[in-house]
Amino acid sequence: MSLNDELAKIRAQAVMEERIRLAYEAIIGRLSRSEAASRALKVGDAMPSFMLPNAEGHLVVSDDLLKRGALVVNFFRGNWCPYCRRTLEALETALPRIAAAGGQLVALTPDTGEHLAATKRRQGLTYEVLSDVDGAVGLQFGVLFRTPEPYRALLAGAGIDLAARHGNEGWFIPMPATYVIDRLGVIRYAFVNADFTRRAEPDEIVRVLEELKKAGNGD
């Protein structure tokens, strides 16, 4: 079963509850009307360089990573999101194939504090989970948006306080987005979707990395 088949199952179950369905539709409606996904960085654009803290308290520099090979950058909303959790795990499963294709993987979330280490521990991740503090990198990629009110209320009702998790009151989260960047820093694959229940397929990411490797641009 593909990742998106699995996510579709979670979605089908979740939207049976009306308030979840309405909050879900509020996000998709808002982002679709403003064509937000189509305005994010795309293939051919240069990746903005970043320096971000990882779950172990070290700074990770994108330029250092690119020296070693192609880079997969996965934006996720936080481990409070079931679609993110499943996607992060699927990426961990694909990690040996990503590495074999010459790629490295980092996952960026606006969460801060203990949530990074908790995400790695609970989802069993061995790749870098970075804190995109105040959504700086998400904004540069054009994937950041403000969660609409019905969704904020839904999260608040579930005890999920994004203001506390992020250390700011903006309630900005990224659209789920996955980028593959070649070692020159150019985006070679971009998946950005207003619908947070749909994600890039790990198989697709591996395929892109293998093509880059074959063309001599990945490593």
Partner 1 sequence: MELFQVRYFLALAKTLNFTRAAEACNVSQPALTRAIQRLEEELGGALLYRERNLTQLTELGKVMLPHLETAFLAAEAATAEAAAFKRRDVATLRVGLGVTISADVLTPVLRELETRISKFELALAEGAAAQLFDEILDGGLDTGVVVEPEKLPERLNRWPLFEDRYVVLCPAGHRFESLAAVPTGALAEECVVLPVRRGCDFAEAFERLCLSAGIKPRTRQAGSSEDHVASMVRAGLGVTISAAHRPAVAGLVARPLADPDARRRITVVAAAGRQHGHGLALFLKLMRARDWSALASPASSPPSTA
Residue 10 is a binding residue for partner 1 (CB under 8 A) = no
The residues with which 131 forms a beta bridge, in sequence order, are 109
DSSP 147: P
Residue 17 is a binding residue for partner 1 (CB under 8 A) = no
Contact 189, 73 (CB under 8 A): no
Contact 131, 166 (CB under 8 A): no
Minimum separation from the CB atom of position 127 to partner 1 (A): 16
Sites for partner 1 among residues 189-218 (CB under 8 A): none
Residue 114 is a binding residue for partner 1 (CB under 8 A) = yes
Residue 14 tokens read as 């979740």
Q: Which is nearer to partner 1, 114 or 203 (CB)?
A: 114
Minimum separation from the CB atom of position 35 to partner 1 (A): 8
Residue 161 is a binding residue for partner 1 (CB under 8 A) = yes
Contact 214, 207 (CB under 8 A): no
Residues 71-110, one symbol each (x = binds partner 1 by CB under 8 A, - = not), give: ---------x------------------------------
Tell me which H or E stretch contains 191. Answer: strand 187-192
Supply the DSSP string of 30-81, one letter for each residue.
Answer: HHHHTTTGGGS--TTSBPPP-EEEBTTS-EEEHHHHHHHSEEEEEE---TT-
Residue 131 is a binding residue for partner 1 (CB under 8 A) = yes
Binding site for partner 1 (CB under 8 A): 30-31, 33-36, 39, 48-55, 57-59, 61-63, 80, 112-114, 116-117, 131, 133-137, 139-140, 142, 144-146, 148-149, 158-161, 167-172
